[in-house]
Chains A and B, each alone.
Chain A
């Protein structure tokens, strides 16, 4: 089975079709042979019957001659001599006809089979002449003659029997047998005629002849009966029609006479005549049967012949048709298979240039289409691959040229390092631009970088490159330690030294298990680094400004204004002292500067102006660093620079403060009530801030706040006055916890501000604390110490005059100058501000109990303003 599966398609077809064709041909051969045999059989039978008919004619004539010869011998040759001569002539002519027929018919085939029979017949026929001579010489008795002739007839009839007794057709065989029976019966009838002729001629019959006669008659009757049984209806009909009538009845009557053996006076001629008539009738029946057999066999031969040829023609047609169909299918199918085969072979050899074309729409046609689609796809992919390959090939072939082009145009610096840290001859054009050089190559990279970077980085770079080329070291680990990942370099272009920031990255290039080169990329990041710095600066400045604004908004403007005014003056004092250069002692000058700045810082802290306190802290730091070493005059430049910076900042704050104040002025929000609340809130916060700072708990009361009606431009002044008074009270007036406890006072101090109902365009403000009041003696001492007046003058001062001392410029009771008080400006500022507003004030106190200041301010401006506002609203 497996072998069948593996056969080529053509062989498979052959295996299926060839046996089929062989079977058809075999079947046809059998059919043709059968028909040919039928034809041959009928043909042969036809010929043998023709020959048999001639033999029968001869037998018929011989039978007559026999009877006549017997009659001639019995009558001593008188009656029958004429008849005998005539009969012999007839017999000879029939024999001649037989021989003619034997020659005429092509009986080679038949003759081969029946040669012996025909030979025997011929030898018997040739004895006829010797028998006749014996008859003429009368040497034989009639019975012997009868026997001679009967023997010849027997042989002849047997020959006929042999000749025709072989046929394949059943019907014909039956009729042939009927004919044979009939011939035998006729022969018996003929012998009967001869014996009867003999007996009637002698008018007696001996016993031997009689017994043979009766046997003969019985045989004749039996053969006739047998004939009638097997003969067909046509033969029977012919027999019944012909063998009847007077002559036949006469033969029966004469036969019964012979049977009786008593009355022989009958004319033998009459017997002969009657029997001959009957035998002639029998002969005609025989001829009829023979004729029908002949026509029958002829018909059969013709039919078989026709069938034979029909089958041959059919065979040829079927064969041609089969061959034609097969050739169409096979050629079509196999041709297509062959085309596909050739096509696939071509593809397997790599030739994809052509397509396969199969016109049929069967499976093979579909395969061909699919094949074409596949081939198209393959060709497409092939083309893509080829293009890629060509590109790769081109790149490979032109890699040097391409790299040159790339290196000319790329914005990064690129070059390779070998294991000796030598820079490659091939490098990108940008290298020259970045490093400001016209030629770079072959140099050791560390040497190349030596003039550009600081020694520490250079040392690191050398170590770094060593580790980069160490295959055992992880590339990422090493790259984390790249010392020139971002580095500042100094390069010279056209004689001008410029600073640049460059980024240098290193990538290993492996060849097998070894690092062959390091690819170095250099990019100029100067612009982005500078931009970054610029952005950071801008950010810082913006933050500073925001803080300035915020701190201004947060803090009482009068406090800031006071602080800024004070700070500016103090800083100016420092500068003036430097310019005067009267201090030879630089160390003392430095200490003085530090203390002054330190105090300013403290003041900034108290009012919550963080940005300024930070700035002063920076100045302090700068001075601090100088304190540690030997100071030179040059060092003061740095301090002056810092102080100048702080001065600038103060100016900025002042201008911003003005801007904020302008905004408040332009857009007054909610009139007095709101500004009052803000004012009181400010004062409360100042009290809180100072009392926390001094660790003196103080309660603050602001009474009758609704009576506060001041022109807007005076609000600030009013606030400044109050804040100065509060600072003075917390710092100097209110005692610390221990002192208050020992004096029996409440630990919590009290500051109150009370406003009177305005009257006569003025209103009164009563400021009071429950502190120690004024120590008259101490005030006098401080005034002398401050250089305001002499000791002598002090002795003569009245109580009120002493009080006025505290409002003098430069007076301060504080023993130490600190950030909260002690600058000798406090009460003088109060006096100045009140006077600026055309106000008056009265100071009262009780030592150890209280300090009280009653301020009387004019409010005329306010009324005017208000009436103006009303007018505007009315109109």
Chain B
């Protein structure tokens, strides 16, 4: 499982990285904004991307559009501080598979990833 972490806060990036250490997840990169995230996705084609919504320059939703266009199989998990439900639902519309509110703790993150990956397995076995 290859993961890209996209968040403009370096603390947040580190929190996500630290909490996923015990899982069988390879972190292939971290991006502080949408534009660099799109670049990494294009080159590395990660399996999973955690994506912040509020970011300087290209925001999360625009970035999600780009990711889905280039790499539709990518599982995107939105991790945001925005409490606005409509934005979250729009992200799901655009193809996000997971959703998490900040601040995140290890437990929430583990559960969210379990759900995301289990769903993935189910789908594969169903095919």
Name A's B-contacting residues (CB within 8 A). Answer: 456-457, 459-460, 463-464, 467, 472-474, 476-478, 480-483
The answer to whether B85 touches A481, judged by C-beta atoms less than 8 angstroms apart, is: yes
Is B73 on the interface with A (CB-CB < 8 A)? no
List 26 interface pairs A-B (beta carbons < 8 Å), by A numbering.
A459-B86, A460-B85, A460-B86, A463-B90, A464-B85, A467-B89, A467-B92, A467-B93, A472-B119, A472-B123, A474-B115, A474-B119, A476-B115, A477-B97, A477-B98, A477-B112, A477-B115, A478-B92, A480-B88, A480-B99, A480-B101, A481-B85, A481-B89, A481-B99, A483-B86, A483-B89
Chain B residues near A477: list those with CB within 8 A.
92, 97-99, 112, 115
- A322 → B minimal CB distance (Å): 76
Given contacts A481-B89, A481-B99, 15 further A-B contacts (CB under 8 A): A456-B86, A463-B89, A463-B90, A463-B92, A474-B98, A474-B115, A474-B119, A477-B92, A477-B98, A477-B99, A478-B92, A480-B99, A480-B101, A481-B92, A483-B86
Q: Please measure, in the bound complex, the distance between the C-alpha atom of A463 and the C-alpha atom of B92, giving whole angstroms.
A: 9
5 smallest CB-CB distances across A and B, nearest first, come from A483-B85, A460-B86, A463-B89, A481-B88, A481-B85
Chain A residues near B116: list those with CB within 8 A.
474
Q: Please measure, in the bound complex, the distance between the C-alpha atom of A472 and the C-alpha atom of B119, giving whole angstroms.
A: 8
Residues of chain B in range 76-93 having any CB-CB distance to chain A below 8 Å: 85-86, 88-90, 92-93
Residue of A at shortest CB range from B112? A477
Chain A residues near B89: list those with CB within 8 A.
460, 463-464, 467, 481, 483
- A824 → B minimal CB distance (Å): 52
Chain B residues near A463: list those with CB within 8 A.
86, 89-90, 92-93
Q: Please measure, in the bound complex, the distance between the C-alpha atom of A474 and the C-alpha atom of B117, giving whole angstroms.
A: 11
- B96 → A minimal CB distance (Å): 9
Chain A residues near B101: list those with CB within 8 A.
480
Chain A residues near B97: list those with CB within 8 A.
473-474, 477
- B116 → A minimal CB distance (Å): 8
Chain A residues near B99: list those with CB within 8 A.
477, 480-481
Q: Please measure, in the bound complex, the distance between the C-alpha atom of A478 and the C-alpha atom of B98, giving whole angstroms.
A: 8
Q: Can you list, as one digit per residue, whether each of B89-127 has a CB less than 8 Å from chain A (1) or not (0)?
A: 110110001111100000000001001100100010000
Chain B residues near A481: list those with CB within 8 A.
85, 88-89, 92, 99
Q: Please measure, in the bound complex, the distance between the C-alpha atom of A477 and the C-alpha atom of B97, giving whole angstroms.
A: 8
Chain A residues near B85: list those with CB within 8 A.
457, 460, 464, 481-483
Chain B residues near A474: list those with CB within 8 A.
97-98, 115-116, 119
- B97 → A minimal CB distance (Å): 7
Chain A binding surface, main DSSP class: helix
Chain B residues near A464: list those with CB within 8 A.
85, 89
Residue of B at shortest CB range from A460? B86
Chain A residues near B98: list those with CB within 8 A.
474, 477
Task: Please count how many residues in chain B sit with their CB below 8 Å of the partner chain's CB atoms.
Answer: 17
- A480 → B minimal CB distance (Å): 5
- A446 → B minimal CB distance (Å): 13
| Max chain B Cβ within 10 angstroms of own Cβ: one of A456, A473, A480, A481 | A481
Residue of B at shortest CB range from A458? B86
Chain A residues near B92: list those with CB within 8 A.
463, 467, 473, 477-478, 481
Q: Please measure, in the bound complex, the distance between the C-alpha atom of A482 and the C-alpha atom of B112, giving whole angstroms.
A: 17
Q: Please measure, in the bound complex, the distance between the C-alpha atom of A618 and the C-alpha atom of B57, giving whole angstroms.
A: 34
Chain A residues near B93: list those with CB within 8 A.
463, 467
Residue of B at shortest CB range from A477? B99
Q: Please measure, in the bound complex, the distance between the C-alpha atom of A665 and the C-alpha atom of B98, giving whole angstroms.
A: 67
Chain B residues near A459: list those with CB within 8 A.
86
- A300 → B minimal CB distance (Å): 104
Chain A residues near B123: list those with CB within 8 A.
472
Q: Please measure, in the bound complex, the distance between the C-alpha atom of A474 and the C-alpha atom of B86, giving whole angstroms.
A: 17
Residues of chain B in range 7-30 having any CB-CB distance to chain A below 8 Å: none
- B62 → A minimal CB distance (Å): 18
Q: Please measure, in the bound complex, the distance between the C-alpha atom of A7 and the C-alpha atom of B86, giving whole angstroms.
A: 81
Q: Please measure, in the bound complex, the distance between the C-alpha atom of A473 and the C-alpha atom of B85, giving whole angstroms.
A: 16
- B51 → A minimal CB distance (Å): 14
Residue of B at shortest CB range from A476? B115
Residues of chain B in range 41-89 having any CB-CB distance to chain A below 8 Å: 85-86, 88-89
Chain B residues near A467: list those with CB within 8 A.
89, 92-93
Q: Please measure, in the bound complex, the distance between the C-alpha atom of A335 and the C-alpha atom of B100, giving whole angstroms.
A: 77
- A513 → B minimal CB distance (Å): 8
- B124 → A minimal CB distance (Å): 13
Q: Please measure, in the bound complex, the distance between the C-alpha atom of A480 and the C-alpha atom of B91, giving whole angstroms.
A: 13
| Max chain B Cβ within 10 angstroms of own Cβ: one of A464, A477, A482 | A477
Chain B residues near A476: list those with CB within 8 A.
115
Q: Please measure, in the bound complex, the distance between the C-alpha atom of A477 and the C-alpha atom of B100, giving whole angstroms.
A: 8
Q: Please measure, in the bound complex, the distance between the C-alpha atom of A473 and the C-alpha atom of B88, giving whole angstroms.
A: 13
Residue of B at shortest CB range from A466? B93
Residue of A at shortest CB range from B118? A474
- A413 → B minimal CB distance (Å): 21
Chain B residues near A472: list those with CB within 8 A.
119, 123
Q: Please measure, in the bound complex, the distance between the C-alpha atom of A482 and the C-alpha atom of B89, giving whole angstroms.
A: 9
Q: Please measure, in the bound complex, the distance between the C-alpha atom of A474 and the C-alpha atom of B115, giving whole angstroms.
A: 7
Q: Please measure, in the bound complex, the distance between the C-alpha atom of A519 and the C-alpha atom of B47, giving whole angstroms.
A: 34
Q: Please measure, in the bound complex, the distance between the C-alpha atom of A482 and the C-alpha atom of B90, giving whole angstroms.
A: 13
Residue of A at shortest CB range from B89? A463
| Max chain A Cβ within 10 angstroms of own Cβ: one of B89, B97, B100, B116 | B89
Chain A residues near B90: list those with CB within 8 A.
463
- A460 → B minimal CB distance (Å): 4
- A186 → B minimal CB distance (Å): 127
- B91 → A minimal CB distance (Å): 9
Q: Please measure, in the bound complex, the distance between the C-alpha atom of A459 and the C-alpha atom of B115, giving whole angstroms.
A: 27
- A127 → B minimal CB distance (Å): 129
Q: Please measure, in the bound complex, the distance between the C-alpha atom of A467 and the C-alpha atom of B89, giving whole angstroms.
A: 8
Residue of A at shortest CB range from B126? A513
Q: Please measure, in the bound complex, the distance between the C-alpha atom of A544 and the C-alpha atom of B92, giving whole angstroms.
A: 44
- B76 → A minimal CB distance (Å): 11
- B53 → A minimal CB distance (Å): 13
Chain B residues near A480: list those with CB within 8 A.
88, 99-101
Residue of B at shortest CB range from A470? B92
- A47 → B minimal CB distance (Å): 110
Chain A residues near B115: list those with CB within 8 A.
474, 476-477
- A702 → B minimal CB distance (Å): 52
Q: Please measure, in the bound complex, the distance between the C-alpha atom of A457 and the C-alpha atom of B93, giving whole angstroms.
A: 16
Q: Please measure, in the bound complex, the distance between the C-alpha atom of A473 and the C-alpha atom of B90, giving whole angstroms.
A: 14
Q: Please measure, in the bound complex, the distance between the C-alpha atom of A480 and the C-alpha atom of B90, giving whole angstroms.
A: 13
- B80 → A minimal CB distance (Å): 11
- A445 → B minimal CB distance (Å): 16
Chain B residues near A473: list those with CB within 8 A.
92, 97
Q: Please measure, in the bound complex, the distance between the C-alpha atom of A483 and the C-alpha atom of B88, giving whole angstroms.
A: 10
Q: Please measure, in the bound complex, the distance between the C-alpha atom of A477 and the C-alpha atom of B90, giving whole angstroms.
A: 13
- A214 → B minimal CB distance (Å): 136
Q: Please measure, in the bound complex, the distance between the C-alpha atom of A457 and the C-alpha atom of B85, giving whole angstroms.
A: 8
Q: Please measure, in the bound complex, the distance between the C-alpha atom of A66 and the C-alpha atom of B35, giving whole angstroms.
A: 169
- B114 → A minimal CB distance (Å): 10
Q: Please measure, in the bound complex, the distance between the C-alpha atom of A460 and the C-alpha atom of B90, giving whole angstroms.
A: 8
Q: Please measure, in the bound complex, the distance between the C-alpha atom of A114 and the C-alpha atom of B112, giving whole angstroms.
A: 124
Q: Please measure, in the bound complex, the distance between the C-alpha atom of A477 and the C-alpha atom of B115, giving whole angstroms.
A: 9
Q: Please measure, in the bound complex, the distance between the C-alpha atom of A463 and the C-alpha atom of B116, giving whole angstroms.
A: 20
Q: Please measure, in the bound complex, the distance between the C-alpha atom of A472 and the C-alpha atom of B92, giving whole angstroms.
A: 11
- A160 → B minimal CB distance (Å): 117
- B93 → A minimal CB distance (Å): 6
Q: Please measure, in the bound complex, the distance between the C-alpha atom of A791 and the C-alpha atom of B100, giving whole angstroms.
A: 76
- B94 → A minimal CB distance (Å): 11
Q: Please measure, in the bound complex, the distance between the C-alpha atom of A64 and the C-alpha atom of B81, giving whole angstroms.
A: 163
Residue of A at shortest CB range from B100? A480
Q: Please measure, in the bound complex, the distance between the C-alpha atom of A477 and the C-alpha atom of B99, giving whole angstroms.
A: 6
- A279 → B minimal CB distance (Å): 133
Q: Please measure, in the bound complex, the distance between the C-alpha atom of A456 and the C-alpha atom of B85, giving whole angstroms.
A: 10
Chain B residues near A460: list those with CB within 8 A.
85-86, 89
Residue of A at shortest CB range from B101? A480
Chain A residues near B86: list those with CB within 8 A.
456-457, 459-460, 463, 483
